[in-house]
């Protein structure tokens, strides 16, 4: 029975969420936040595979999200909409809800391919050098996208809303919420199952003692490249979802700041802990949204108290002071994050009575 508790709870929560959204009980803002929490979860959990389980330091994860976002958008526009870029739709728009997984898959594969391109030359290096290479890769990807005029260049790319609308025409459901839940499920399931199999434990082995891993039969180069590809592929999935939720993509949304957000979520949650990173992704997304309200309030209060000169306003830019500050404080006072490298069931063994994750 307990084998299925978590699955049942997850399914019930998903159905409840979709039902609430369908009934109109959640306003559009709340719904968007929930969707973004899901996307951030995918983004952070996939980064955790490389930075947590494998112990490497990838700083350009958003670059792969960018690849996924653009490839997903292009596929979706080419498949289901009449556009200037691709001409008439390849498939009738009524097929959109059924073929959307193909769009997601295509985006993931493209991002995984980019992961491979970055991984092949860089995995003879380690640590700091890999960090530098991944930052560079992030910039390269953004620059490439910004310099292709056909897909909008620096102006960004749009048209995905039509796909989402086409899905709504077939059945009036909160489609993007459903697809995000689906993506979340695929991502968490993939990483969890991988890391509990002996095959995936090869990744931890490489992290904990590479020489021992190599001598015990683990092909370390292959394992590293595999992990990097899975990680970037899932980031691509997050990207494709993001593009469709927004209906618009711009390469600058996936710059180094976005990569930093990913790092904050992973280190906040605890490297190598899926439950920790999920908690962190939820907490972090909510925090960023909360700052949206807190900063103007702080501004008003400080002005009322006469703490700030009349001409100075605290703007939303301060978000980018506060978030890195969290990272600094975290490294100082709790470098292992919420859960360290343990899962929730290891921190609270009593939970095991209720759940085993399958």
- Residue numbers at the binding site for another protein (CB under 8 A): 189-190, 193-194, 197-202, 204-205, 208-209, 211-220, 226, 230, 341, 358
Q: Residue 300 CB, nearest distance to another protein (Å)?
A: 49
220 or 252: CB nearest another protein:
220
Q: With respect to another protein, which residue has the nearer C-beta, 137 or 194?
A: 194
- Report, in Å, the least distance between residue 100 CB and another protein: 21
Task: Please report, for residues 2, 65, 125, 234, the alpha-carbon distance to residue 254 in angstroms, rounded to integers and kept in the order given.
Answer: 40, 7, 25, 15
Q: Choose between 171 and 211: whose C-beta lies nearer to another protein.
A: 211
Residue 216 or 325: which CB sits closer to another protein?
Answer: 216
Q: Which is nearer to another protein, 82 or 209 (CB)?
A: 209
Q: Nearest distance from residue 299's CB to another protein, in Å?
A: 46
**Listed residue (168, 51, 47) closest to 100, CA to CA:** 168
Would you tell me how many other CB atoms lie within 10 Å of the CB of residue 98?
11
Instruction: Pick the closer one to another protein by CB: 193 or 292.
Output: 193
CB of 140 to another protein, least distance (A): 27
Alpha-carbon span 57 to 259, nearest angstrom:
12
Shorter beta-carbon distance to another protein: residue 225 or 344: 225
> Least distance from C-beta 334 to another protein, angstroms?
18
Name 116's Cβ contacts closer than 8 Å, sequence gap at least 6.
Answer: 225, 228, 229
d(CA 110, CA 46): 15
Cβ closest to another protein, residue 191 vs residue 282: 191
Please report how close the Cβ of residue 136 comes to another protein at its closest, in angstroms: 28
Q: Which residues are CB-contacts of 352 (< 8 A; sequence separation ≥ 6)?
A: 345
Whether 199 and 211 have beta carbons less than 8 Å apart is answered as no
The owner of tokens 């994750």 is: 357
The Cα–Cα gap between 2 and 295 comes to 44
The answer to whether 123 touches 225, Cβ cutoff 8 Å, is: yes
- Least distance (Å) from another protein to the CB of residue 154? 37
If you count DSSP H runs as helices and E runs as strands, how many of each does the chain have, helices first?
14, 2
Alpha carbon distances (Å) from 106 to 68, 77, 101, 112, 239: 8, 13, 8, 10, 12
Nearest distance in Å: CB 109, another protein: 14
Q: Closer to another protein by CB, 177 or 237: give it.
A: 237
C-alpha to C-alpha distance for 79 and 206, rounded to whole angstroms? 41
Minimum distance, C-beta of residue 223 to another protein, in the bound complex (Å): 9
Q: What is the dihedral of CA 47, 53, 59, 60, to 10 degrees?
A: -40
């Amino acid at each position: 029975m307990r084998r299925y508790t978590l699955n049942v709870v997850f399914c019930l929560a998903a159905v409840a969420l979709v039902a609430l959204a369908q009934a109109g009980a959640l306003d559009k803002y709340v719904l968007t936040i929930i969707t973004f929490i899901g996307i951030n979860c995918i983004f952070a959990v996939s980064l955790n595979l490389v930075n947590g389980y494998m112990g490497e330091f990838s700083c350009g994860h958003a670059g792969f999200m960018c690849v996924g976002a653009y490839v997903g958008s292009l596929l979706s526009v080419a498949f289901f909409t009449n556009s200037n870029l691709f001409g008439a739709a390849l498939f009738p728009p009524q097929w959109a809800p059924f073929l959307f997984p193909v769009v997601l898959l295509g985006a993931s594969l493209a991002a995984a391919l980019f992961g491979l391109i970055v991984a092949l030359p860089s995995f003879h290096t380690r640590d700091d050098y890999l960090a530098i290479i991944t930052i560079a890769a992030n910039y390269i990807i953004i620059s490439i996208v910004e310099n292709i005029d056909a897909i909008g260049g620096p102006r960004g790319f749009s048209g995905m809303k039509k796909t989402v609308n086409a899905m709504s025409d077939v059945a009036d459901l909160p489609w993007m919420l459903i697809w995000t839940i689906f993506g979340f499920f695929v991502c968490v399931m993939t990483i969890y199952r991988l890391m509990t199999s002996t095959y995936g434990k090869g990744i931890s082995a490489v992290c904990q003692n590479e020489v021992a891993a190599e001598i015990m039969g683990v092909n370390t180069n292959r394992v590293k490249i595999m992990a990097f590809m899975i990680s970037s592929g899932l980031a691509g999935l997050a990207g494709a979802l993001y593009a469709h939720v927004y209906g618009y993509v711009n390469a600058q949304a996936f710059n180094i700041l976005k990569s930093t957000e990913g790092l904050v979520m992973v280190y906040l949650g605890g490297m190598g802990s899926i439950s920790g990173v999920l908690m962190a992704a939820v907490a972090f997304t909510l925090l960023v949204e909360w700052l949206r309200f807190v900063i103007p309030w702080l501004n008003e209060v400080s002005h009322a108290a006469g703490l700030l000169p009349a001409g100075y306003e605290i703007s939303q830019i301060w978000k980018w002071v506060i978030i890195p500050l969290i990272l600094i404080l975290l490294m100082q006072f709790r470098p292992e994050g919420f859960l360290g490298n343990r899962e929730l069931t290891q921190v609270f063994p009593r939970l095991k009575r209720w759940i085993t994750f399958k």
